[in-house]
A and B are shown apart, each in its own frame.
Chain A
């Protein structure tokens, strides 16, 4: 029956993630952004923590904790600095995408391609790219990925995934945000395909996981914006009292918090469904759309609450606003998410009827 308490293992992991975010990701945030990379020291110390293999199956030497755990930890890390969180994560959703579509064997191929180190694999949804294929191989153009380099690419389309390990070319772009992870336009020009797995159902689940992955990073960014602006509003005085004690701002801050909490629950439920192997695509699409929608208000309002100071790089809220927007454009963005969810909904009679499949 309905329970929102993380089990002990997850609680412990989360505590670690939150501490690391606070102590190691927040302070050097602007340096990482300017350097377009995280410090090598942070990268090497991170490997020991093991957070990046949280949702890698046990068979592949991961922690096997699943999607929900990943989503929790993503939020915690992104609350520190989403750029660093992405830079520190060797797989993103590349590995689980292979897993969902091609099973352990497919995932193992990637594990081998990246080696044990922190060399990154990229996940790209074909909806974010121009893709064509001929005898020469795969040709591709992705306007932005949050990386300067990678050793492998997992490309997802409606039918399945393919793995590319050669010919990845990056043109550096400034990036609207998330610069700590780098930023490039990714191109392939007739690159060989190292492996291809087809399975439409698996592709749907892979897309669900990718959306939840990004949604949870977004939650972290938005949460940071909410917390920072709410704290600031209790310190900053105007018209003789803390600005938070003017009802217009008190209610705004409250509504931001309500929206964030609601979106978080929706993401958690969808991730839980992934782990339960229940249908999850509609829920994940809907959750992603919800977080994006919430971000449309929280991002700019986080800045608004700080007034002119919010506009300046001295405070993190302008970074949150930019980065939330950039993340929201992935996987076909809001439109693709509501389209997928909408198509699935209209096929049903009573879509949110209680007690279906024993879940909400």
Chain B
């Protein structure tokens, strides 16, 4: 039965998230933006995250009993993502935890791998991070074209290559690195490997200077004859047949699209509230053009939110959501960019000063149309189904 309600428990959790957002996320994000550097590893901000029970895994442990962050419905997680991104999207990516590769490890990892790589996140003794390294200087959208190689060497593997823009890479306990056994063989030849911090040959970490989302590090690094044991191949040898290797990576990306959309919605909503606040403070609400912009922003937020929730709802219902997930991301990223643009037009020259929240949002939100598949890539995915666009 059609229902657009948020149940009271979820609402309470959203209210809690809003409180943390106001007290913790927003100030940390503004601070990082001002410092033009990621929140440093030893920052007390991360200790407070752990004290609140964040930074853990949703994996339940081998006995299935432990769960630091219980799994909620996708719809609820999307709403939560929206609320958090409302306060600061950069900061939520900076938060400790197993991050992007967590789902892959849960769904594909062997028991030993789960214990070894997610185990420390069950009751983290300190802020810990993990990350997923796919993108390379020469291959982003065309993920089948990555050049980082994996060569069998006795009972282990030797990795060589370079990755770029990888979130939290230099502070991660381990990086799930996507590599190819044979660059000429495309997707089927790809594998993912756990590369632990300090492994010889893993280095040249370079934290990139970004236009926005400064609170977390996006880092490039190289792999020079990095040797990892056979046990570090995600899922173990048997798991890899046909194109399953590539699908490992794509799975992560699929799960993430509505999440990015929700982030974009949160950021656009932030621009909306800030626009209203600004207009009220400056006595501009009586102006038609000001009101029209506020109305336009709000309409964008409303529709993008619903499209994202639809994708999430389908996932909850265990129905295919590939098209809807891509549609939600394509729409939300674009509308959020427009929303922040309208917000800047509303505040006028004040936005050019470089210290207004909407100006920060305008910079931050651009990445939503790039990460986890650009807007163009999302449209390609939709068009394949819609009109049979050839690959």
Contacts and interface: CB of A to CB of B under 8 A. Distances in A.
Q: Are A and B associated in one complex?
A: yes
Interface of A: 1-7, 10, 68, 230, 233-234, 242, 244-245, 247, 249-251, 253-255, 257-259, 261-263, 265-266, 268-269, 272-273, 283, 286, 289-290, 293, 338-339, 341-343, 345-346, 348-355, 358-360
B294 A345 contact: yes
Contacts of A3: 1-3, 313
Given A251-B383, A258-B327, 16 more contacts: A4-B313, A6-B1, A230-B386, A234-B387, A244-B383, A247-B380, A255-B330, A255-B379, A257-B382, A283-B302, A286-B298, A289-B295, A290-B302, A342-B291, A348-B276, A355-B15
Most chain B C-beta atoms within 10 Å of own C-beta, residue among A3, A258, A346: A258
Given A262-B303, A262-B307, A266-B302, A342 B389 contact: no
Given A265-B306, A354-B79, A358-B6, A2 B386 contact: no
B152 interface: no
A345 B382 CA distance: 34
A191 B2 CA distance: 43
B272 to A, nearest CB: 7
Contacts of B372: none
Contact of B299 (A10, A290, A353): A290
Nearest to B15: A355
A290 to B, nearest CB: 5
29 contacts: A1-B3, A2-B5, A2-B312, A3-B1, A3-B2, A5-B317, A233-B387, A234-B387, A242-B388, A244-B383, A244-B387, A247-B389, A253-B386, A253-B387, A254-B382, A262-B304, A262-B331, A265-B303, A283-B302, A286-B299, A345-B295, A346-B279, A348-B276, A349-B276, A351-B273, A351-B298, A352-B298, A353-B18, A353-B269
Contact of B389 (A245, A268, A349): A245
Given A2-B313, A342-B291, A359-B4, A290 B303 contact: yes
A231 B1 CA distance: 31
B75 interface: yes
A185 to B, nearest CB: 30
Interface residues of B, number: 59
Interface in B300-334: 301-307, 309-310, 312-313, 317, 327, 330-331
A5 B331 contact: no
Contact of B327 (A261, A263, A289, A343): A261
A244 B390 CA distance: 10
- The interface residues of chain B, by DSSP majority, are classed as helix
Nearest to A275: B2
A256 B218 CA distance: 34
Contacts of B4: 2, 269, 272-273, 359-360
Contact of B5 (A1, A249, A265, A349): A1
A234 B386 CA distance: 10
B204 interface: no
Nearest to B75: A2
Interface in B366-391: 376, 379-380, 382-383, 386-390
Contacts of A250: 379-380, 383, 386-387, 389
B292 interface: yes
B48 interface: no
A3 B310 CA distance: 8
A326 to B, nearest CB: 22
